[in-house]
Amino acid sequence: MRLAAAATLSLLVAILQSEQSPKSARDQLAELRTKAADAATAGDQQGRLAADFELQRLLNGSPIVVEALARAYAAAGDSQKAIAALNQFADLGQADDNLLDNSDKRFAALTSLPGYKQVLERFRSNETPQSLGARAITLPDAGLLAEDIDYDLSSRSFLITSVLEHKIIRVALNGSESTGRVSVSDFAASPDGWPMLAIKIDAARHRVWATEVALDGFSAAPKEAWGRSAILCYDLNTAKLLRRIDGPPHTALGDVVLTDDGDPIVSDGVGGGVYRVSNNEIHPIDTTDFISPQTSALLPGGDSIVVPDYVRGLAVVNLRSNHVSWLNGDKTALIGVDGVYFHHQALILTQNGTTPQRVIVVELDSSLRRITGSKVIEQASTDFGDPTHGVVVGDDFYYIANSGWNQLDDHGEVKSGARLTPAYIMRYSLK
């Protein structure tokens, strides 16, 4: 869920682990936010570095913290370590446009050094456009703001949620992808007139699970409903609304994955909770480890899911014990993930919180618990815009590009001078 997830990035300042009683990741962030600010104001560079190292441990090597360490080293006058940290940031495939255009003056003392100039060249290289996918569908309505997508094999069509038009649409190809001709019809509308976000099809039970979220401060939702969300269940064949389940207060249940039993696992990108819906009730799985969980993926066997946290990276959650472990992110940037999808010992990630934004394939070892490599599918290509979510159909991955989120401000209004353009459904062969 793009808006809620992006808001959490402002909290990335630092964490202090408590040895007394475990605190939630969100509480730890809030505590060290004050500590880091105080250290910077006082010119306490050692205190600032100590906070950043704690943050690096909590956020599993996040590139954002790697760059924060570079800034702390630069402020402390250690140019060698500052450049080394910037190179580590580049190793993760990242770039910083504010350094490339020289608008960030915090590294001013390094600009004449050959090592710093080499880092900037690496940033430029990391932003080289790449596109291995092909455009399969252009959605004709630019005002949708397409968010999530799933595939209905029985009708050979996609179901796609609309944030701004508060509905789910059905999109089917007329002929082959090469013609680009599609038929679009409304599947269902939000029962409360709220933005529609997540969608998952349970083909075995002929059900469609979706969520509607009245994002706090978002103009596309009625003000009296801000901070509320609900889980919806429709009949796949008739689009009849079968169930509506209110989410816990002050949650944004914007993402869903289904278990083998057909139970939705929903993520609260604002409050940090992960919940299971069973027998029309919502049960917490984890409300302490995550800061901004997004769309998860079920692993083979059905006992575990991979939960992408927009800030902390990728976690594996055992659905029997609720145990949480984190995948290694020392070689690949795992932040800013809006959705994760499993296919043949690999994960496909849609990342709209990295620079550049991208879609990548992450390869796993046989245990499915360690990352062994990664490959970029698309980044920085023409009209890529903000990617949101995708769906695996056989050996193809279809994903939403140019969603429109980057054209909106924090209140969901189109930015001055911007305009919404049609979103694309891209296809990448996973063979």
By percentage, how much of the chain surpasses pLDDT 70? 94
- What's the topology of domain 2-126? 1.25.40
Q: Which CATH superfamily is domain 130-429 in?
A: TolB, C-terminal domain (2.120.10.30)
pLDDT more than 90, % of the chain: 88
Q: How far is CA 46 from CA 66, 69, 194, 221, 371, in A?
A: 16, 11, 47, 45, 33
Rounded CA-CA distance 353/370 in Å is 22
**What residues does each domain of the chain span?**
2-126, 130-429
Of the candidates 37, 3, 34, the residue with the CA atom closest to the CA atom of residue 310: 3
pLDDT category at 390 given cuts 50, 70, 90 is very high
Least confident of 12-21, 84-93, 313-322: 12-21
Residue 13: pLDDT over 80:
no
> What residues form DSSP beta bridges with 268?
253
Strands 134-138 and 274-278: unpaired
Please give the order of strands across the beta sheet that includes 196-202.
196-202, 207-214, 228-235, 241-246
Q: Measure the CA–CA gap between 20 and 98, rounded to whole angstroms.
A: 40
Give the residue-averaged pLDDT of 203-213.
98
Q: With residue 283 as reference, give the H or E element that holds it.
A: strand 281-286
- The answer, yes or no, to whether residue 330 has pLDDT greater than 90, is no
Place of tokens 């919404």: 420
Strand partners, 414: 408
Q: Using 50, 70 and 90 to split pLDDT, how confident is the model at 22?
A: confident
**Residue 354, C-beta contacts closer than 8 angstroms, at least 6 positions apart:** 63, 93, 94, 333, 335, 336
From start to end of 94-227, where are the E strands?
130-131, 134-138, 146-152, 157-162, 167-173, 182-189, 196-202, 207-214
User: Which whole number is the average pLDDT over 14-41?
Assistant: 71
* 226-245 burial code (b ≥16 CB/10 A, e <16): ebbbbbbbbebeebebeeeb
Residue 18 backbone class (left: φ over 0; alpha: ψ -120 to 50; beta: rest): beta
The chain-wide mean pLDDT, for the chain, equals 93
| Phi, psi angles (nearest 5°) of residue 304 | -140, 155
Tokens standing for residue 357: 């934004």
The pLDDT value given to residue 36? 79
Banded pLDDT at 181 (limits 50, 70, 90): confident
pLDDT at 19: 38
- Sign of the Cα torsion 67, 69, 75, 76 reads negative
pLDDT of residue 115: 97
pLDDT at 126: 97
pLDDT tens readout for residues 245-277: 999 999 999 999 999 999 999 999 999 999 999
Residue 21's pLDDT is: 47
**What predicted TM-score, i.e. pTM, was given to this entire model?**
0.93
SS3 181: coil
Summarize the confidence of residues 11-35 as an average pLDDT.
65
What confidence score (pLDDT) does residue 179 get?
57
For the residues 284-308, what does the mean pLDDT come to? 97
3-state secondary structure 124-156: HHHCCCEECCEEEEECCCCCCCEEEEEEECCCC
pLDDT tens sequence across 58-117: 999 999 999 999 999 999 999 999 999 999 999 999 999 999 999 999 999 999 999 999
Q: How many CB atoms lie within 10 A of CB 371?
A: 19
CB distance 370 to 381 below 8 Å: no
